[in-house]
Each structure stands twice: as C-alpha cells, then as structure tokens.
Chain A
C-alpha cells in the first residue's frame, strides 16, 4: 500500500527526517508511529501526504511513485489525513462540511462516517461552537469520507482523556479491520498504541529506530533506552 524509501525532509538547516524506510501494508491493521516530541512523526505524515516535499527519497503508494503529486490528487486517490492541530471548517456546520467533501469525493455513504464518529447529535452546529473533543472527531470524519485506502492520523487522541483516546483507537481498529484498509496513526499515548495497533514504528531524532509488533517493540532494548524508559 505505502512504501517509503530513503526519505529525508529538512526545514531549512534542520533535518527533521533522515533516510527513513517504512512499509505499510493494506491488511486491515493499525500501524502506530511513536517517538519522543520532535522525532519527526508529523513530518513523516506531511511527506507522505504531500504537504512537505522531501529533499531525498521516494514515496510509493499503490505501486506508483507519488513523490511529486499534489495533496489534492493524493486525497482523490484515497489517501486521507487528519491533523495534530485540529483542522476543520469552524464557520460551517458539521453537516455542511462533511456533505461538501462527500459530494466532491462521490461518497454517498456519509451516514456511515457520521455514525462511526458519533456525530449525529452535532450535525447542525457550527464546528467552531462544539467542544474540542468533538471537533477532533469531525477532523477524523473529514478524513474518513470517500472510503480512503490509506488513513494518516496525526495524534487523533490529542486533547482527549486516556479513556477517550483508547475508545477512539478501538473504533479505528475495528473500522480499519472491517474495511481492510491501511492506517498510520501517530500517537503519544503509548498504551493506546500498544493496545490497538498490530504494528508499531518508533522514530527518534528523525531516524527510524524499529518496526515490529507491540511485543517486539516493548522488548527492543534500543527503544526502551531511547523512548519507553523504565515505564514499559
């Protein structure tokens, strides 16, 4: 589904990602990405979805080199993302924005998205007026429209309590499994990631540290040293 090779991204002189290789399969499991603050997790999603041009390396999506494709093109090809800092249309009602995008992407099953993200009670309120936690769900809902093949979610649990985050992750896990799609989820809540992700990648200082099952990652001494510490 997604194959990243030798990916490097810089912000001016700051190298945010160096030489990252990663493969994500479309096999219906959540692929978690963890790592300390500033490890380059968001940058990785940015490079995959086209928000940032990499300085080196390639991104293949469904066996096609898409490194130079536009954001909108990628979205229309089924690559969707949500944002670490909520990005919704504050001035539109929840329904207006979901409907606008659904129409554009030719998705006539908006009800499914509304149900999965539990937004039925908020449809006619402006997104700017609803609670932050609900706005997060609108953000994810926007990404779910159009039956994407690859979901890129940047800290969907940010601003939610641990219980809410776990709940959201369980939702996402079931959804991804049902639809047999691929999903990369960046998250700082390690417990939720280990509980729900089938695969986990650890980034540290812009480098790929390890990828494996939650058990393998927990047992990996480099990961423990760099990130998990004694807590794991």
Chain B
C-alpha cells in the first residue's frame, strides 16, 4: 500500500476494449469464416455420398445437443443430463400436434416449440437454484420420468408407445416439403445453417454481459449476490436458451427422419451429447459441433465392427486422457504453443 501509483490508474483501465494493431486481422478472419461457411454448406452435397451425408446430419444434430450441454457446463458450471427429453419431446409434440390436434405443419412446429420452452422454463425455475450435483440428478430424473411416461399404456394412443410415431406432413415448412427434409443433401444445408446459427448465437451470448455474469456466478455465487446481482435469473435464462437449441435440433430431427422413436427420449441421447461435448471441447461453439460429427462417424465405424460399446468406451478414455480439453481445446493450445515458439525464435 505504500507506493501508491496515482497516475496510471485511468490509463490502465482503458486498453481492455481497444485492441490496437490487429485492425487487418479482423476482416481477414471474417473472410476466412465466410469461406468455410459457404464451402462447408456446398462441398459435401457435391462430393459426399448419401450415407456420409446422413452421418454428417446426425453428427450435427448431436453436435447441437452437445453445444447446449457444453454451453451450460462452460458458462454456468452445470451439467445437464436431460437433453433427450427436450430433443425427443419436441419431436413427439410436433407429431402429436399434427396427428391428433390436426394442426398444419407450421403451426404444429410452433406449438411443439412453445410447449417445450414452457416446460424447460418451469423445470429450470425449479432446479437452477440447486447445487451442480443436485441439478444434474434432477435433470436426469426429469428426463427419465418423461421417457417412461411416453411408454405408458394409457398414453399409447398419443405417443405410439414403443412403436413411436410416423410424422408425415403435406404442404411446406419454411418453404420445404417433406421430401426436401428427407433428402440427405438438402437436409445437410439446413443442418449446416442451423448448426452455425446456434453456434454463433451461443458464442455471442457467452461473450455478452450475460456470459460474464454466468461465469462469475459459477465461480463465486455468494460474492455475486453481495455485489448486488440476482444470480437466479441469469441461470434460468441460460437454461432456457440451451434448451431452445436442443428443441430446434429435436424438431429438425423429426422433419428429417419422418419418425419419432422412443429412443430419441432415452438417456443415451443425453449421455452421447455429453460425451460429444467433452470430445470436441466445451470451451466454444466449434468443439461441441465437431464433437458431434466425430462421435457420429466413430459410432458408425465402431458399429461396423460390432463393438460399438467397447470401442466407444475406449475412445472416450483416450479422448479424455489425450485431449482433456477436447479436440478443439487441444488443437488450439498446440497452435498457441507453436506461435509462441515462433515468436521466441524470431526475437
């Protein structure tokens, strides 16, 4: 406390926002991102076969779930194991809304989405207050409850029970017909755009004030309250937000598959999305999406050998040991090291 530096205080506060010197780098990055976006949307539809495209589509769907799990983990320190009930539930509601309530596809889609958002909000309101472990168990319990309720004999007329429901719609949804959604190539473009939009949306939220508040609450909730913050609402908003991403994935899934199976509500969907998030790395949007795609292709490869469970287990262990921060986290720290090394050589 003795040597008080009175001059530098104001100067040192300012530079956080002003990133000098990199004015050229930002447009270049943008151009590179735009190129990746366009090439990624178009190239696979030209050069990849239907089978690979289907795996890619499944991978991106899983990636969107992984994205929602990862965001909540990374920003709020909460592990959710209930992605499946949102994913399968939204698809199921969509089917019920069309089959039983005779709604047009577009209206059915909106109704299913709204019901799921209300469900997520009510559930979130009850559980985001609890500690991380209780939160995880409660999402698990709620998910299991829903997935068993769907199988109840009394609800069979609605839910189709173990048989699931066929979803066939006439007319168009967002200007696309059922056949368009079923086409692997067309659906790839839809998935590609949806994955990017959700990735960008969550990335932007992470960088916003809400993201900063969530991370501070994760770290020291009490101090946040003692700094005048409401710590409940931000977490509830985050919970609803990630479930919106999961619900969109669920709806896209049924539009593509034309079918809702009870498995889409099962616990393995939730655990797969968690694994995909850990494989890709939870610290951004690219990691979870990439994790989903890797997971999807790996599952296929493992399945071809008839050793899905065993090889998945081994892969998880290898991933977590070799890439504790996921593929993207691992690669980016390597790139950073190389840059550092290069700079040291240069100087």
Residues 116-136 of chain A, each 1 if its beta carbon lies under 8 Å from chain B, else 0: 001011011000000000000
Interface of B is mostly: helix
* Number of chain B residues close to chain A: CB under 8 A: 27
> B227 interface residue, CB < 8 Å from A?
yes
> A171 interface residue, CB < 8 Å from B?
yes
Contact A72 B230 (CB under 8 A): yes
Q: Which B residue's beta carbon lies closest to that of A87?
A: B223
Chain A residues near B220 (CB, 8 Å)? 87-90
Interface of A is mostly: helix
Chain A residues near B16 (CB, 8 Å)? 95, 99, 124
Contact of B219 among A83, A91, A120, A146 (CB under 8 A): A91
Residues 70-103 of chain A, each 1 if its beta carbon lies under 8 Å from chain B, else 0: 1110011000110100011111100111011101
CB contact list, B1-27 vs A, under 8 A: 1-2, 4-6, 8-10, 12-13, 16
Chain A nearest CB, measured from B283 CB (Å): 13
> A35 CA to B229 CA in the complex, in Å?
32
Contact B13 A101 (CB under 8 A): no
Residue of B1, B2, B6, B16 most packed against chain A (CB within 10 A):
B1
Chain B nearest CB, measured from A198 CB (Å): 22
> B225 interface residue, CB < 8 Å from A?
yes
Residue of A76, A87, A110, A115 most packed against chain B (CB within 10 A):
A115
Chain B nearest CB, measured from A165 CB (Å): 10
Chain B residues near A114 (CB, 8 Å)? 9, 13
> A178 interface residue, CB < 8 Å from B?
no
Chain A residues near B227 (CB, 8 Å)? 75, 100-101, 104-105, 142, 145
Residues 210-231 of chain B, each 1 if its beta carbon lies under 8 Å from chain A, else 0: 0011011001101101111111
Contact B226 A121 (CB under 8 A): no
Chain A residues near B207 (CB, 8 Å)? none
Residues 51-79 of chain A, each 1 if its beta carbon lies under 8 Å from chain B, else 0: 10000000000000000001110011000
> A115 CA to B6 CA in the complex, in Å?
6
> B305 interface residue, CB < 8 Å from A?
no
> B46 interface residue, CB < 8 Å from A?
no
Chain A nearest CB, measured from B77 CB (Å): 11
Chain B residues near A120 (CB, 8 Å)? 5, 8-9, 12
Chain B residues near A24 (CB, 8 Å)? none
Residues 57-100 of chain B, each 1 if its beta carbon lies under 8 Å from chain A, else 0: 00000000000000000000000000000000000000000000
Contact B223 A168 (CB under 8 A): no
Chain A residues near B8 (CB, 8 Å)? 120-121
Contact of B228 among A83, A99, A146 (CB under 8 A): A146
Q: Which B residue's beta carbon lies closest to that of A133?
A: B1
Contact B10 A111 (CB under 8 A): yes
> A49 interface residue, CB < 8 Å from B?
yes
> B170 interface residue, CB < 8 Å from A?
no
> A155 CA to B13 CA in the complex, in Å?
28
Chain B nearest CB, measured from A178 CB (Å): 15
Contact B1 A100 (CB under 8 A): no
Contact of B226 among A81, A95, A96, A124 (CB under 8 A): A81
Contact A110 B13 (CB under 8 A): yes
Contact of B9 among A72, A101, A115 (CB under 8 A): A115
Q: Which A residue's beta carbon lies closest to that of B230?
A: A72
Contact A101 B228 (CB under 8 A): yes
Q: Which B residue's beta carbon lies closest to that of A49?
A: B226
Contact B10 A167 (CB under 8 A): no
> A72 CA to B226 CA in the complex, in Å?
6
> A164 interface residue, CB < 8 Å from B?
yes
Contact of B1 among A81, A90, A101, A168 (CB under 8 A): A168
> A55 CA to B5 CA in the complex, in Å?
47
Chain A residues near B216 (CB, 8 Å)? 89, 92, 97, 100
> A146 CA to B228 CA in the complex, in Å?
10
Contact B228 A75 (CB under 8 A): yes
Contact A105 B1 (CB under 8 A): no
Query: Could you write out 14 A-B pairs with CB less than 8 Å apart?
Result: A70-B225, A72-B231, A75-B226, A76-B228, A87-B226, A88-B220, A95-B12, A100-B227, A101-B227, A101-B228, A110-B13, A120-B5, A121-B8, A167-B1
Give chain B's interface residues, CB within 8 Å of chain A.
Answer: 1-2, 4-6, 8-10, 12-13, 16, 209, 212-213, 215-216, 219-220, 222-223, 225-231
The 8 nearest A-B residue pairs measured at CB: A75-B228, A120-B9, A101-B227, A76-B228, A71-B225, A87-B223, A167-B1, A115-B9
Give chain A's interface residues, CB within 8 Å of chain B.
Answer: 49, 51, 70-72, 75-76, 80-81, 83, 87-92, 95-97, 99-101, 103-105, 110-111, 114-115, 118, 120-121, 123-124, 137, 142, 145-146, 164, 167-168, 171
